[in-house]
Structure 1
């Protein structure tokens, strides 16, 4: 692709190029999108289905002007995990619906008032540690999935875990061209092969599965306590979306925040999440991996993105394939999780670096410190039947501190505000 010209957003692509380029995009998100349903304990068929539908909705709502593939969002893992453990997956779906709906309202607010106020409610010094906590809070889950926290650790689990993790780590550093975009998928395949050789894969369910079957649709249930636990994630995913649109704008050489507009892309992203909750899937978000594919290939066509979405929908109906994905052993998922959860944590630190947060300012040091300790200390706050803890509580604390510092600035009581 290096010798080819740039294929712009609205350009159609010949069929002989469309198919391989679309498969490439689907593979780029495949590894991570398998991990999210695994953590939630659901069949990946419905997730693949909604990733495709969500992407097509996104293209439609943004009038085909914003190339983006929608995959499973990691931001919801921790709070949704709490809800699932207490009330079940259907109540987490209710939370997804409400977050998606509120996100659509947020898009309308941004259309009317802009997005600068988000930095007041959750400034970079707060956003960074909140995003980092999404990964750090799940570190124990990664070790449990790998079987490394058992009283007697099985050597087979350790071998599969190490093969998976090392393939992902080394691949992310040494792979080039297209392989550099899919080290997670390659690591899953390598780990799966290692698991086969170690004899810890059970193909019983694959043999019984039908070749073609409907995705496992489910309906949401609503509980106020569950909604409150999941809702604070809204500002996190909004900031993540803005960041992705800015990066994509740089890649394609167009200001997507103006045309089709941030309000359109954010509305499309959250509308997809709302639909996901209604049919039994996980929340969706624009995917950094697919932005990387566009940057590498110089192919920005929404027709290629749409082709990948259609392929994802088709895959969701192949029963044996989705069942085979479900047989991926815990040590493989654990090995991938070790890297991915750490990368989420590192992405929070990256927010602090890229925003050039000045820790010479007392407010930034205090905000980041309090948020990290709140999220990692294990403390919880009870409001009637509602319990906030971990990243969710840390996010709420960050928002309250942001608002407090804003008020103190307006009253000119702070000693580190910018001089006007």
Structure 2
């Protein structure tokens, strides 16, 4: 894919669009767990900048609130309160730092052994498909609005020219929002009541987390799944941008950058952040993979976090409008996984490869959960671990020629 060169004005428009894609999920997580959504926007922007600094500005990734920590935060807050829970979230960064050190130590050998294409392909597919239920849940609140947003985005993407073709998501959201306003689905009262300028509550009343071992140890196992998902997302972004980011700047740097972003978020009383597949899907659609455009999205997130009326206006977008857009974006992620399997010529005639792909996808889509006491792992994290274990344990099969003969058979002849 040839990189698209944009003027400064077009970069700003596309960068703001990328934030629109990430906005709903970024503010939804704190709303569900009782944290400040403005703080989540701030920590997403700052975390993204930290990530880009560590990765030398080479990897087009946006970091936003992680859904993997919704249940753990709710559970921990009942036991230790929100201050103790925020202290426990410091443990998330420790897992990232440890994995970063291991990858730095072992290098590509570890990656090639643990994450060959037959494992990464299904994981990428799951990253898209596992989010599909969220998209449908958002869309089904009003299918009319969802389909208007979806159809508009598709038409702009296929028929649009010039700048218009780069902003299908903005066009889809705008069309859905106008219709929602006309049928009375938009509540403008929070926008009118919101101040023009307001610091996030956790910043205005900043205090250090109250350190405690119990919530820290509780959160460490939970971070395993997002770390594995991070690795899958880095491969996804690399596939979309047609670059190997595990080589340059290196997976150890992306893990370190994500860990530092999680650490900063915990100190600022925000939810842990993670690589956002939504933005990757938008990049895949628009063909814009410039890290500079992602940094514009990060700047926009920080600006929106302190401009009360802008944040309130974005929060007024109906969930169905965003859901319609997500129906398109998450599907593109799954297609990148299929492309990854095809590009690396994974032989699905081999029994071991079929087993790895089949079990990984079935467990992920089926929602398998492995739990013991307070520890639980599910979804993409559990499926990725199962895929890794199967790949390490199942014996390699001999490659055969077009006539079905192995090398040993050819030698005997």
TM-score, structure 1 as length reference: 0.75
Local SS of the residue matching 2:377: strand
| CA deviation string 1:177-198 (max 9, x = no partner) | 3333331222112111111011
Alignment of 1:402-417 (within 5 A): 402-405=391-394, 408=395
Partner residue of 1:214? 199
Do structure 1's residue 27 and structure 2's residue 38 form an aligned pair?
A: no
Identify if the C-alpha distance between structure 1 residues 357 and 326 changes in structure 2 by more than 3 Å, giving closer, same or farther. Answer: same
Matches within 5 A, 1:99-138: 99-138=92-131
Partners of 1:391 and 1:383 lie apart in 2 by 18
**1:338 matches 2:331:** no
Q: Secondary structure at the match of 1:212?
A: coil
CA distance in 2, matches of 1:275, 1:115: 29
User: Structure 1 residues 296, 375: CA separation in 2 closer, same or farther (over 3 Å shift)?
Assistant: closer
CA distance in 1, matches of 2:157, 2:99: 36
Structure 1: gaps of 5 or more residues:
8-16, 149-156
**Cα distance change on mapping 1:104 and 1:338 into 2, 3 Å:** same
Quote how far apart the aligned CAs of 1:94 are: 7.1
The answer to which of 375-384 and 317-326 deviates more is 375-384
CA drift of 1:306 comes to 5.4
> For residue 398 of structure 1, what is the aligned residue in structure 2?
387
Which stretch shows the higher mean deviation, 239-248 or 271-280? 239-248
Residues 334-391 of structure 1, C-alpha deviations (whole Å, 9 max, x = no match): 2122222323333332332232211011111000111122223344333233333333
Note the C-alpha offset of 1:231: 1.5
Q: Secondary structure at the match of 1:164?
A: helix
- Deviation, structure 1 residue 268: 2.5
1:70 is matched with which residue? 62
Question: Which residue of the partner structure matches residue 238 of structure 1?
Answer: 231
- Distance, in Å, in 2 between the alignment partners of 1:55 and 1:378 is 29
Q: TM-score normalised to the size of structure 2?
A: 0.76
**1: CA distance between counterparts of 2:128 and 2:218?**
23
**Structure 1 contact 133–391 (Cα < 8 Å) conserved:** yes
Aligned partners of 1:51 and 1:312 also within 8 Å: yes
- Among 167, 183, 191, the alignment partner of 2:176 is 191
Q: How many angstroms apart in 2 are the aligned matches of 1:176 and 1:245?
A: 26
Q: Give the 5 Å matches for 1:379-398.
A: 379-398=368-387
Aligned pair in 2 of structure 1 residues 45, 23: CA closer, same or farther (>3 Å)? farther
Residue by residue over 1:114-139, the C-alpha shift from the partner in whole angstroms, topping out at 9 and shown as x without a partner, is: 13322322332222222322332333
Give the whole-Å Cα distance in 2 for the aligned partners of 1:129 and 1:260. 24
* Rounded Cα–Cα distance in structure 1 between residues aligned with 2:240 and 2:130: 27
Residue 57 of structure 1 deviates from its aligned partner by 2.5
2:267 counterpart of 1:274: no
**Over aligned residues, Cα RMSD in angstroms?**
3.9
The whole-number CA distance in structure 2 between the counterparts of 1:260 and 1:108 is 14
Which residue among 353, 359, 363 is the counterpart of 1:364? 353
Structure 2: gaps of 5 or more residues: 204-208, 401-405, 409-413
Aligned pair count reads 382
